[in-house]
Amino acid sequence: MKTKVLLGSLLLATFSLPVWADSNAPASTQKVISYKTDVRSILDDYCMGCHVPGGKGYEKSGLDLRTYQSIMKGTKFGPVITPGSSLTSTLNVLVSGHADPSISMPFGMKTGLPKDKVEILNRWVNQGAKDN
C-alpha cells in the first residue's frame, strides 16, 4: 500500500510540475509575444543607441537592429537568432548574462537587461521569432 501511495505521489508531482512552472510551459500555452508590440520597444530602449549604422555595436559586429529583417540577418559573424531556441540564440545569450561580462549586452549596463525584458526576448525567440 505504501508503495502505491508513494508512486502515485511521485507521478502526480512529476506531471504537475509544468502546470505551475510557467517559464517551462510549452510556448503554445503562453501569451504570444509580438515583435512589433513587445520586442521592438525593448530594442528601441536598450539597444538602438549602438546597433545602427554609425553606432559602436554596429561598427564592431555589423548588427543593425532597425528592422526585423536586419535582426534576422544577424552580424558579419552570422545570425544572432535561432528561431525556436533562446538557449542557442546569440542575442539571448548576450542579454541574459550567460556570456563573458566583456561582451554582455546591453554594453556598459552593470545591472544588465531587466529580467522581465530578458524573459520577453526568450519567449519571443522560443515562439519562433516571428515578425508579428
Long-range residue pairs from 83-86, CB within 8 A, at least 24 positions apart, any chain: 83/125, 83/128, 83/129, 83/130, 84/125, 84/126, 84/128, 84/129, 85/125, 85/126, 86/121, 86/122, 86/123, 86/125, 86/126
Indicate whether 107 pLDDT > 70: yes
Mean pLDDT of 9-28: 40
Which tens digits make up the pLDDT trace of 9-18? 333 333 333 3
Give the pLDDT confidence score for residue 12 in this predicted structure.
34
Give the pLDDT confidence score for residue 108 in this predicted structure.
85
b/e 109-122 (16+ beta carbons within 10 angstroms → b)? eeebbeeebbbbbb
Give the pLDDT confidence score for residue 18 in this predicted structure.
33
Indicate whether 4 pLDDT > 80: no
C-alpha count within 13 angstroms, C-beta hemisphere, residue 35? 16
Indicate whether 88 pLDDT > 80: yes
User: Does this model's pTM top 0.85?
Assistant: no
Q: Which has more pLDDT, 55 or 103?
A: 55
Instruction: Provide the residue ranges of all domains of the chain, joining segments of one domain with +.
Output: 23-126
Give the pLDDT confidence score for residue 25 in this predicted structure.
57
